[in-house]
Amino acid sequence: MKNATNIENTIIVAFLLLEYNIKVDERERMWSKVLIKNLKIDIIIVIKKKEVILLITENNNLEFKRELTDSIVKEIIAFCNTTGGTIILGYNDNGKVVGLKNAKEDLDRLSSKINDSIEPSVNFLVSSRIEREDNKEIIVVEVLKGTNKPYYIKSKGMTIDGVFVRLGATVQRATRETIKEMIVESSGISFEKNISINQDLTFTYANKIFKKKNIAFGDIEKKNLGLINADNKYTNLALLISDQCPYSIKVARYKDNTKTEFLDSKEFSEQSILSQYENAYEYLMMNNRMSSKIDGMERIDEYEYPKNSLRELLCNTITHRDYEINGSNLIHIFNDKIEFLSLGGLVSGLTIEDIKLGSSSSRNPNLVNIFHRLNFVEAYGTGIPRMYEEYKASITSPEIKVAPNSFLVILPKLNLKNEYTLIIEYLKQNNQGTRENFETILKLGKSATINILNEMLEKEIIEKIGFSKNIVYKLK
């Protein structure tokens, strides 16, 4: 058996057919079929000449089975819960057609298994038929992606033992978080909009903050913001904003760069998410050392961590987390970095690169809107790009790591090259400068200065204007 991993293999096969003048007529052609699923193309071509050459492209949309077994229920459920796909019964592990002893009986048994074992009903998602290949009967089962997820084994219920998904070419149990996401996706009701279990809510801190910002916060505003639904019930968004918010932020400070010894720890809980934000930010700034230097008549204060980056990351930790997952958001303060760990992975459809470029999509858009109205965040989607902007002149740079149920941002201490700092300060005061100016302030030769300027150009800290002897540099 040869495995064709992409469509180029098909072109090679076509070339070989022409090169060796192999004729493929209806009698010799065992199978030639193109399956197009979600822009992924699986091509199966079987050519018979002395021996069978089978080329198969397998991915998460295609499954071959020798015979009908109980496991097909899990496979159908997995396809319904992901992207859909095709199951072919009557092939062995070597890719050879072995056929089915009694395809008609197997087709009836398959129909019974689907009806008796799967909920919700998938009858309208699954079609199956008998086909003949090499004078042998096989069954082709086409499965569409479902819209009423999660689909599950009736006897197991909507649990990790009953819900399955397709990952690559394997069937796996769905995690609890994945099951929750399926329920939300199918219902169309997000966490924010669901009715709060606790309807005995107070808003003492929220009233204080809204009043301080000169923003009305009566019942009409609560409805407009999404805190009260059409039935005059408090939503989960109201629960987050209320004094009874059950979620928390835990902050720990360590002696060194490991988690072996605590210096201090705080948990901000049993208070409005707005209060948690302000108290956690205050604690972070208490542990953000500041140094000052005098430049002429001006005093310049520099923090170990950019204030805006701390604020934005704290906001992101709160507003973009998955509140369907039990647990606290975590912030770890080490000697040389701060880690922000938020529950919930990337929002569906986004990549890390999207986020770095400023793409904005949130699980909790109404919570983001409230933070924006209160000026806790400046603008949608600008936090991460501005964070990287603040580290342009630093030797260190922030790092983002994503797992299925967590989102981690590592913010290192600013570590500016002294030469960068001198050039930046000069340009802030003088608007522009020449290479000769920088040679003087850096006390370096021409080549060393050019190397530093090229580094800063590559990092897009500065820009070069003009040509030859008329070149000047400005902050970008």
User: Which of 24-28, 265-269, 392-396, 412-416 bottoms out in mean pLDDT, i.e. has the lowest?
Assistant: 24-28
- CB count, 10 Å around CB of 90? 26
| CA atoms of 49 and 24, how far apart (whole Å) | 9
CATH class for domain 58-187? alpha beta
What pLDDT, on a 0 to 100 scale, did the predictor assign at position 76?
96
Kindly indicate the confidence band of residue 95, based on its pLDDT and cuts at 50, 70 and 90: low
Kindly indicate the confidence band of residue 107, based on its pLDDT and cuts at 50, 70 and 90: very high
- What pLDDT, in 10s, does the model give residues 166-180? 987 789 999 887 887
Please state the φ and ψ torsions of residue 170, each to the nearest 5 degrees. -120, 155
Question: Residues with Cβ < 8 Å from 295, sequence gap 6 or more?
Answer: 425
| CA atoms of 299 and 404, how far apart (whole Å) | 46
Residue in this structure with the two tokens 């089975």, named with its chain if needed: 65
- What pLDDT, in 10s, does the model give residues 245-260? 999 999 999 988 888 8
In the chain, where the domains are located: 1-57, 58-187, 249-412, 418-475
Kindly indicate the confidence band of residue 298, based on its pLDDT and cuts at 50, 70 and 90: low
| CA atoms of 340 and 84, how far apart (whole Å) | 36
- The 3 state secondary structure assigned to 26-58 is CCCCCEEEEEEECCEEEEEEEEEECEEEEEECC
Quickly list DSSP for 318-339: HHSS-TTS-S-EEEEE-SSEEE
Q: Report percent pLDDT > 90 for the chain.
A: 49
DSSP label at residue 132: E
- What pLDDT, in 10s, does the model give residues 374-432? 999 766 667 788 888 888 878 788 999 988 788 999 999 887 667 888 888 889 889 99
Here the tokens at position 94 are: 């070597």
249-412 has which CATH code? 3.30.565.60
User: Is residue 115 a contact partner of residue 123, using CB atoms and an 8 Å limit?
Assistant: yes
Kindly indicate the confidence band of residue 299, based on its pLDDT and cuts at 50, 70 and 90: low
Rounded mean pLDDT of 74-83? 93
Assess if CATH 1.10.10.10 describes domain 418-475.
yes
Alpha helix locations (H) across 29-171? 71-81, 103-117
From the number of C-beta atoms within 10 Å of its C-beta (0-12, 13-18, 19+), residue 50 rates as exposed
Determine the longest span between alpha carbons in the chain, in angstroms: 94
User: Which of 2-6, 158-162, 327-331 bottoms out in mean pLDDT, i.e. has the lowest?
Assistant: 2-6
- What pLDDT, in 10s, does the model give residues 444-472? 889 989 988 998 898 888 999 998 888 99
- What pLDDT, in 10s, does the model give residues 117-164? 999 999 889 999 999 888 999 999 999 999 889 999 999 988 899 999
- 168: amino acid identity, one letter: G
**Cα pseudo-dihedral 57, 62, 66, 70, rounded to 10:** 160
